Amino acid sequence: MVVLGDVGRSPRMQYHALALADAGAEVDLIGLAGSAPFAGVREHPNIHLNRLRDGGRPGDAGPFVVPALLRAVRQAVALSTALAGRRHDVILAQSPPALPTVAVALLAARLRGARLVIDWHNLGHAVLALRLGDAHPAVGVARRAEAAFGRRADAHLCVSRAMQRALAERWGIEAALLYDRPARQFGPLAPERREAVVQRLCHRLGCDSTGRPAVVISPTSWTADEDFPLLIEALAHCEARLQAVDRAAPLLVLLTGTGPLRADYERRLARLPRARVHAHALWLSPDEYPAMLASADLGLSLHRSASGLDLPIKIADMFGAGVPVCALDYGACLREVVRPGENALLFSSAADLAEHLCTLACRAPADTASLARLRAGAAAAAAERWDDAWRRDAAAVVLGDAVAHERA
């Protein structure tokens, strides 16, 4: 069994590997090097990690297509070499990237007699169109290649019902739906533990902890499908409004993770006034991230879906930690997992986001009660965990006839 995905940025593929290993499979987890997997994956005796070098990302300025093509070729060579090592019964590949990951996985599966299962996280050509525009010839090529390679897989999973419908209608692909669910390491913290984590965080960042800040955490991969300009505008609005409120708590906004746009937006964040609003980019290890997330008053999702069909896994993590989400509203697909006013707040503009953040910082009694209701709704949304959903919705798809025969 082999699982292909971006090890550093794709918890879902780590969860797949862990579920398969717990079911008794020997798993090769192959993906780009980056942040380390979480401890359960690193320490599992049935999981063998193979972390490939990224080969560098095309820069934000200058030509894009040629450097991106060269990077894809380097990744294809590295991935082909990794897959040539052992014989596998099943190859489970994350898409995007369809190129080169799915193309190489399809070739390896056909040469070695393995089943290929694609887990559709998004549509790769839609992500590419964020950079090049939908009319660019490279986007058209990517769209046709993604459809052609995708149709030849043996089975499919996807992250949303909207994506399930789109794959069927556009490309004739029948995919089983597997929603992201929180893994077991995510759970709420007792109030005293939350306060201790916040105090350590303030000390780590050099913040004044005499007044307990309102903490907002936004896990991000620092990519073009996150609306950072909207956040920066909202934080500027918050700073101006909170300076006029005597009893407002400080607002501490953390953007965790690493990715291609981080350095640029760190510079922009550093230029913001920091009298009442403190925004920091902070890298957290996979082992410290769950507790830090659970210490937050509110989770923030800036994800603006390239396709309108994907769902950010960070929302599942937030619910698992008992933290309600404040999410950029990008359409009906998002409401498959969030319930505005029940476990989430939605915004569509910088002014909307600033309103939610300022309300959190002001902490009027009615607002505190509303936040408590949202926290309860978030915890209720996390009643089903990843391993339960995986056994029900994915095991037979990934493992094929062996599981079907066992259940018969």
Residues 140 and 218 in one domain: no
Is the same domain home to 118 and 216? no
The reported pLDDT for the residue numbered 408 is 37
Q: Per the domain annotation, does 42 fall within a domain?
A: yes
pLDDT of residue 99: 87
Residue 235's nearest CA partner among 298, 281, 279, 282 is: 279
Instruction: Specify the CATH number for the domain of residue 19.
Output: 3.40.50.2000
> Cβ(117)–Cβ(155) under 8 Å?
yes
Structure token digits, residue 219: 């896990």
In a domain, 298, yes or no: yes
The Cα 149–Cα 129 span in angstroms is 19
- The two three-digit tokens of residue 329, written as one number: 């509203």
The upper half-sphere exposure of residue 337, i.e. CA atoms within 13 Å in the direction of its Cβ, equals 33
| 82/207 same-domain check | no
Does residue 186 sit within a domain? no
- pLDDT given for residue 213 in this prediction: 92
Q: Say which residue the tokens 């989430």 belong to.
A: 344
Same domain, 232 and 254: yes
Q: What is the rounded CA–CA span in Å between residue 146 and residue 173?
A: 12
Range of the domain at 303: 191-381
CA distance 164 to 274: 44
Q: How many CB atoms lie within 10 A of CB 170?
A: 11
Whether omega before 96 lies within 30 degrees of 0, making that bond cis, reads: yes
Q: Are residues 138 and 223 in the same domain?
A: no
Answer yes or no: do 177 and 235 share one domain.
no
Give the number of other Cβ atoms within 10 Å of residue 66's Cβ.
10
| CB 16, CB 31: distance < 8 Å | no
From 346, 243, 235, select the one nearest 281 (Cα to Cα).
235
Q: Same domain, yes or no, for 237 and 126?
A: no
- Is-contact 336 367, C-beta < 8 A? no
Q: Which regions of 27-89 does DSSP assign to beta strands (E)?
A: 27-32, 47-52
What is the predicted pLDDT for the residue at 259? 87
Let me know if residue 19 belongs to a domain: yes
Same domain, 155 and 215: no
**What are the residue ranges of helices labelled H in 161-312?**
161-171, 191-205, 228-242, 262-270, 289-294
Same domain, 205 and 354: yes
**Do both 136 and 199 map to the same domain?**
no
Residue 281 maps to a domain? yes
Considering only CA atoms, which of 333, 306, 301 is closest in space to residue 318? 301
Residues 6+ apart with CB under 8 A from 383: none
Same-domain status, 145 and 53: yes
Q: Is the peptide bond before 97 cis (omega within 30 degrees of 0)?
A: yes
Residue 348 located in a structural domain: yes
Residues 352 and 396 in one domain: no
78 domain-assigned:
yes
The pTM of the full predicted model, rounded to 2 decimals, is 0.91
Per-residue pLDDT of the chain (408 residues; tens, 9 = 90+): 788 777 666 789 999 999 999 999 999 999 876 667 888 999 999 999 988 876 555 444 345 677 777 888 888 888 898 898 778 999 999 999 888 899 999 999 999 999 999 999 999 999 999 989 999 999 999 999 999 999 999 999 999 999 999 999 999 999 999 999 999 999 999 999 999 999 999 989 988 656 789 999 999 989 999 999 999 999 999 999 999 887 888 999 999 998 889 999 999 999 998 889 999 999 888 889 999 999 999 999 999 999 999 999 999 999 999 999 999 999 999 999 999 999 999 999 999 999 999 999 987 666 788 999 999 999 999 999 999 999 999 999 999 865 444 443
Interacting residues of 365 by C-beta distance below 8 A, sequence separation 6+: none
Within-domain flag for 90: yes
How many domains is the chain built from? Answer: 2
Task: Output the six-digit token pair for 264.
Answer: 């640029």
